[in-house]
Amino acid sequence: MAVIWGLFITVLALVCWGGQTLALFSPSAAERFGLADRPGDVDAAFYADGRGEAAWDFVTLWTLGVAGVLLVVDATAWAYFGLIGGGMYVYFGGRGVLARQQMASQGIRIGDGSAVKTAYWALSIWGVAGLITLIAAFVALA
């Protein structure tokens, strides 16, 4: 089961971190692939927030992927990366959902209906995966 979970969070983290990395270094490519919002589709403040978020996520979100790889190879250090990475993904997912809800309630354009729905689903999956990994890491270190 550990190998399956390790593979799952590695792929999940690569999609998330890879998407944010692409959004940081090549926003137009990320927009073409649907990984980032186009400036005309969202409010300017939301677009700017997304660019800043991409930069910070590039720095931090790799940790869950490392935890997954270490879990697959049965290295005990996975749990330390799992604590950090799991916590980062819980924060990333929760902040992403709640910030979008607040912005939408204030009339800030956060994208079309399908983009928002996709974002909510992806952020929720990343947040839950982070929480499960965080709990598993605590158990492994207990």
Report the distance separating Cα 61 and Cα 67, nearest Å.
Answer: 11
The share of the chain scoring above pLDDT 70, in percent, equals 100
- Report the candidate in 10, 22, 12, 2 with the shortest Cα–Cα distance to residue 66: 10
Question: pTM score > 0.75 for this model?
Answer: yes
For 47, the domain range is 2-141
User: Does 78 score more than 90 pLDDT?
Assistant: yes
Average pLDDT, the chain: 94
Report the distance separating Cα 111 and Cα 7, nearest Å.
Answer: 31
pLDDT at 123: 96
pLDDT at 35: 85
HEC string for 15-67: HHHHHHHHHHHCHHHHHHCCCCCCHHHECHHHHHHHHHHHHHHHHHCHHHHHH
User: Does 34 score more than 90 pLDDT?
Assistant: no
- Number of domains the chain is built from: 1
